[in-house]
Amino acid sequence: MQDGPIMSGISDFYRDKVVFVTGGTGFIGKIVVEKLLRTCEVKEVILMVREKKNTLPEQRIKTLCASPIFERLAKKNPNYQERIRVIEGDLEKPNFDLCPESMDYLKEHTHVILHIAATVKFDEEMIKAITINLAGTRTALEIGRQSKNLQSFVYVSTAYSNSYDEHIQERVYPIDCNPEKILANLDDEKLIQDVIQYSLKWPNTYTFTKAMAEALALEYRQHFPVAILRPSCVMASLNEPLPGWCDSIYGSNGTFIGWYYGLIRTSHIDPEVTIDTVPVDYVSNAIIAVGWKTYMERAQEPEVLVYNCVSSTDNPLTFGKQQDQASKGSKHPLLTGIYKPITFASSNEIMFRLYSLVLHYLPAYIMDMALRFRGEKPRLVDTYVKIDKVVASVRKFSNTTYLFDNQNMKDLYLAMSPVDHQQYPCDNRNYSWRLYFEVAVPGLKKYFFKEDLNNVKRARQAMRKKELIVNTTLFLIVGLMLLQLYYLLR
């Protein structure tokens, strides 16, 4: 018989702990930081921040804390910022370019490291991708190795780190190159060319360098408990800290935002392909929960456990069905959108190029001409050129249905108490995509585009005018082209 209420094992583990979070100002990281400060009585969260665009780290944190996602936390604990320690550092530089005092503080006080920071640019130049995703991970692991009180290390990778294989297991895959040798010889042009040639097995530099970082993390299990969490495509939140919150333009978010804005109207994707997306709050909860479980099972689990944080295994969604669900966003049209959200999808290269010409480039040239007449800089054609580069870098993902193993994720959920199920939901079987998009679409309108949800009438009127102008102009251009063709063939 229980003597009292069931407590949260996860919150209890983090109580009075010092947690070092890399990437704490990023899309996933800031949700992790907010959740740790709101639900765990952590002693301190250490954030490594670099100066950016002449903005000092301390000012960047003040801006971060002014975000709507911290309002709930501020109401609960107005003094929460006192538990944030800011250290100046740069992921791209050796030893994060930390000053001796900051490095010593980390080694002396850190209990948990959540390494989330990475470049998520899929087509990043190889040297830069290695420097950030591989060298940065080694620095975080070395800080862990030299820390006096480290209890748990979680490396956040990607579900697509081994996407050359369509069946992705929860294990670290072997690689035929030595990460340490590569890091020691980044100025060796021949070696780097060999690495680039070997990396062609992967769809892009992002997934390749993530795979190498996983192999590197495996080597540190002898020093401290390590786990790897692999989220798939991370999208807007489902519930926390705000329903539908998103501020990222990378990956699937960029495609979804582009569709909603009316910018991306065709996709090089098979509508029947099963895609894999996970709400950012579920990923955040999984990171925190894995940190807890990695420590709790450190004695009986000598290996590095890999957790595929995915949805398609138990809650599948095809691209076509995603568009059907998301199209309900017509209830929330954008005042600032350039066209109503529509998508013509095709896995056929020729059809995609034809759709792209008619739906993207012709309207882009028209709108750029209009911008020139108004004395503004044309930008839409250049935007579509950049979009096409991204499309090429993710073609493998968008036309492949992957089979992910996720038993370790299910075991994590089974190990959690009912209280933790409520406080740290991370089981992707427990939500419907219909309900998800009912919060994701208005969330984008409110938080990303910063529009009033009540401006529906004005937004629809503005959208009708834009459609009329673009469609009329397109009709005239296509008509003139057909007329010219007719006279040429007479």
DSSP state of 229: E
Strand partners for 47: 21, 86
Which tokens go with 64?
Answer: 């971060």
Rg (the chain; Cα; Å):
24
Are residues 328 and 338 in contact, defined by beta-carbon separation less than 8 angstroms?
Answer: no
Q: How far, in Å, CA of 53 to CA of 404, rounded?
A: 40
Which residue from 48, 40, 112 is spatially nearest to 77, judged by alpha carbons?
40
Q: How far, in Å, CA of 168 to CA of 159, rounded?
A: 8
**Residue listed under structure tokens 């919060």:** 439
Label each residue of 51-97 as H, E or C. Answer: CECCECHHHHHHHHHCCHHHHHHHHHCCCHHHHEEEEECCCCCHHHH
Are residues 339 and 265 in contact, defined by beta-carbon separation less than 8 angstroms?
Answer: yes
Segments making up each domain of the chain, as ranges: 9-247+275-316+401-445, 454-489
Are residues 343 and 264 in contact, defined by beta-carbon separation less than 8 angstroms?
Answer: yes
Q: How far, in Å, CA of 192 to CA of 128, rounded?
A: 12
Q: What string of pLDDT tens digits covers the 490 residues of the chain?
A: 344 455 789 999 999 999 999 999 999 999 999 999 999 989 999 999 988 878 888 888 999 999 999 999 999 999 999 999 999 999 999 999 999 999 999 999 999 999 999 998 888 899 999 999 999 999 999 999 999 999 999 999 999 999 999 999 999 999 998 999 999 998 888 999 999 999 999 989 999 999 999 999 999 998 999 999 999 999 999 999 999 999 988 888 888 898 888 888 888 888 899 999 999 999 999 999 999 999 998 877 778 999 999 999 999 999 888 888 887 656 888 998 888 888 888 888 899 888 898 888 888 888 888 888 888 888 888 988 888 887 777 777 778 899 999 999 999 999 999 999 999 999 999 999 999 999 999 999 999 999 999 988 898 888 888 778 777 877 787 787 788 877 877 7
Which tokens go with 198?
Answer: 């070997």
Superfamily of domain 9-247+275-316+401-445: NAD(P)-binding Rossmann-like Domain (3.40.50.720)
Q: What is the predicted pLDDT for the residue at 469?
A: 77
- Cα→Cα distances 344→228, 355, 383, Å: 37, 7, 19
Which tokens go with 38?
Answer: 């709101």
Which residue from 234, 317, 247 is spatially nearest to 280, judged by alpha carbons?
234
Are residues 175 and 184 in contact, defined by beta-carbon separation less than 8 angstroms?
Answer: no
* N residues, the chain: 490
Q: Give just the sign of the alpha carbon dihedral 271, 274, 275, 277.
A: positive
Q: How far, in Å, CA of 74 to CA of 81, rounded?
A: 9
How many helices (H) does the chain have, and how many strands (E)? 21, 15
Q: How far, in Å, CA of 205 to CA of 134, rounded?
A: 11
Contacts of 88 (CB under 8 A, 6+ apart): 48, 49, 50, 51, 57, 97, 98, 99, 102
Q: What is the predicted pLDDT for the residue at 6?
A: 59
Which residue from 160, 241, 156 is spatially nearest to 404, judged by alpha carbons?
160
